[in-house]
Amino acid sequence: MTLLDTALIDWSRAQFALTAMFHWLIVPLTLGVSIIMSIAETLYVVRSKRNLQESERWKKIAKFWMTLFGINFVVGVASGLILEFEFGTNWSNYSWFVGDIFGAPLAIEGIIAFFIEATFIPVMYLGWKKLNKKFHLASTYLVTFGALLSSYWILVANGWMQSPAGMTFNPDTMRNEMTDFWAVALNPLAVNKFFHTVLSGWVLGGVFVVGVSAYLMLRIKRLDNSEENFVMARKSMFTGAIVGLAATLLVCITGHDSAKHVARSQPMKLAAMEGLYEGGESVGLTGFGILNPNKVSYNDSINPVICKVAFPKMLSWLSFGSTNAYVPGIRNIIDGGYIMPDGRTALSFSEKVERGKMVNEALKEYRNALKAGDTDKMKVHKAEIDLYFPYFGYGYLDKPEQIIPSVPLTFYSFHIMVALGILFIITFAITLLLIYKRKLQIAGSTWQKWFLILLVLCIPLGYIAGQAGWVVAEVGRQPWTVQDLLPVQAAISALDAGQVQTTFWIFASVFILLLAAEITIMVRQIRKGF
């Protein structure tokens, strides 16, 4: 591979990562705030016949979060469109190879989910005085449902890339074709990814609502009708903390399920998450660790960690449900020879490369037979293609180091995500306890002030946790765009690296301006209070 090719791959990956990470600054807050504004409006409708003052408070709370939702939603649409266009501009080989499958969930997302959102968002914002309460509440829930539905189909597409299913390769067209829509739509890894991702968005929504409510409490003297604003801020904080705590606890469950899927379909990602170079039975789970920067090769004798705190046998149990289960490390995955959960013996990297090259050779012979009209040879080579196609992508690789993702980036991202999740559980629980005990009052003590400042500072931590999760998911599966079938160097478009570099900086500038505009508008809106 030439230096130009390497530069093209790096800049193409960097541009897509930039767009995806910016988009993921927007999407989780949209998911999280949508459920909280729906809960607030539900309480407005329920309380309207019992306590008019209380009902009006919840209406103001719902409108406040609805405004922030709208600001966030608009920016998310802009970045999402750019992201989808990049599949055609920067990753055209990928789009050709799996577009028949990958395009279906994206099309459904655009036709159905986005249509629901586009239809009912105007109703939600403009219908307060024109619709009855229940119909307006229904429109709000439909907007929330549309956001969830949109997320589902996008995550179906992403989950399929991580664990392809429901398709067959057509050597006549050199494309993968969908054979089972429901195998794609209900891919267990995609379903788990949906719940884990949406719940993480609810966690961020909880962190954001609690933090913004704390900010409003801190500056309550600067707001008109300060006592009412404080009461509504406390109610918002309570709602956000309940949603955040419940979501964080559920994320632990979906995270455990995710670990089981990763252990079976992406063992190299799991090994990178744990910095595990040498596997074995009864492997412990790293709670805290520092990687050794001198570890430069998967097969050298240097200890991969300087120090770590581990929970004995926990990784084996989390991955395969048994404390005695075998978990392969990076070196084991490359060398092969261990017994996998399905009872088969794992192939080595070199054996997979050999099979990948056999697929390419069989494909070449199939194409020659097709031109010659020799149907008998076509059948023979087609059978060979089908047999070894699961290793198709390895035919583009030549060094075992190519299938090892960035271990430091994956390892630290994973542990930062977990550590922040634990912090959020503690923070939400304390917040709920203090509100329940009526310890947060309008004339609070010094400790209350510092606690509210801590809640405000948790807002960026919520974003960091979400970004870290996606780094684990996407960096951890490198070099694959489609697991085992298509590495990045075979997926990119035939562009000049300079073109991609130029558009990278253009997009970076646009995203910075969009982010600055969004933050400015949202801060101005927040400062107005309820």
Mark whether 383 and 436 lie in a shared domain.
Answer: no
**Residue 60: closest CA among 52, 475, 101:** 52
Tell me the two tokens of residue 472: 């684990």
> What's the pLDDT score for residue 388?
94
Mark whether 291 and 203 lie in a shared domain.
Answer: no
Phi, psi of 309, rounded to the nearest 5 degrees: -115, 120
Mark whether 70 and 190 lie in a shared domain.
Answer: yes
Mark whether 314 and 432 lie in a shared domain.
Answer: no
Mark whether 18 and 98 lie in a shared domain.
Answer: yes
HEC per residue, 283-308: CCEEEEEEECCCCCCCCCCCCCEEEE
In a domain, 344, yes or no: no
In a domain, 519, yes or no: yes
Number of other residues whose CB lies within 10 A of the CB of residue 54: 16
**Residue 525: closest CA among 69, 128, 32:** 69
In a domain, 340, yes or no: no
> What's the pLDDT score for residue 443?
66
Task: Share the mean pLDDT of the chain.
Answer: 92
Task: Report whether pLDDT(2) > 60.
Answer: no
Token pair 């209900």 is at which residue? 186
Task: Report whether pLDDT(282) > 70.
Answer: yes
In a domain, 418, yes or no: yes
- Tally of residues, the chain: 530
Mark whether 172 and 40 lie in a shared domain.
Answer: yes
In a domain, 232, yes or no: yes
Q: What is the pLDDT confidence band of residue 109, given thresholds at 50, 70 and 90?
A: confident
Pairing of strands 175-178, 167-170: antiparallel
Mark whether 274 and 238 lie in a shared domain.
Answer: no
Task: Report whether pLDDT(368) > 90.
Answer: yes
HEC per residue, 298-343: CCCCCCCEEEEEEECCHHHHHHHCCCCCEECCHHHHHHCCCECCCC
- Rounded CA separation 465/508 (Å): 22
Domain that holds residue 274: 270-335
Single residue among 295, 313, 335 that ends a domain in this structure: 335
In a domain, 100, yes or no: yes
Task: Report whether pLDDT(176) > 80.
Answer: yes
Tell me the two tokens of residue 157: 């597409």
> What's the pLDDT score for residue 130?
86
Average pLDDT over residues 243-257: 95
Average pLDDT over residues 118-133: 90
Cβ atoms 328, 338 nearer than 8 A: yes
Average pLDDT over residues 174-190: 93
Q: What is the pLDDT confidence band of residue 81, given thresholds at 50, 70 and 90?
A: confident
Q: pLDDT tens for residues 37-50?
A: 999 999 999 988 78
- Gyration radius from the chain CA atoms: 26
SS3 167: strand
Tell me the two tokens of residue 199: 């719940």
- Rounded CA separation 139/193 (Å): 27
Q: What is the pLDDT confidence band of residue 243, given thresholds at 50, 70 and 90?
A: very high
Residue 72: left (phi > 0), alpha (psi -120 to 50), or beta?
alpha
Q: What is the pLDDT confidence band of residue 88, given thresholds at 50, 70 and 90?
A: confident
Mark whether 329 and 431 lie in a shared domain.
Answer: no
- Rounded CA separation 176/166 (Å): 10
Tell me the two tokens of residue 244: 């955040």
Mark whether 124 and 259 lie in a shared domain.
Answer: yes
Mark whether 166 and 283 lie in a shared domain.
Answer: no
Mark whether 8 and 102 lie in a shared domain.
Answer: yes
Task: Report whether pLDDT(119) > 70.
Answer: yes
**Using the 8-state DSSP alphabet, how is residue 51 labeled?**
-
pTM comes to: 0.92
In a domain, 342, yes or no: no
Domain count, the chain: 3
Single residue among 380, 400, 420 that ends a domain in this structure: 400
Single residue among 358, 381, 400 that ends a domain in this structure: 400
Q: pLDDT tens for residues 445-482?
A: 788 899 999 999 999 999 999 999 999 999 999 999 99
**Residue 364: closest CA among 340, 379, 349, 381:** 381
Q: How many CA atoms lie within 13 A of 136 on its CB side?
A: 20
- Rounded CA separation 514/509 (Å): 9
- Rounded CA separation 249/508 (Å): 35
For 5-22, b where at least 16 C-beta lie within 10 A, e where not — what string?
A: eeebbebbbebbebbbbb
Mark whether 66 and 174 lie in a shared domain.
Answer: yes
Per cent of the chain over pLDDT 70 is 98
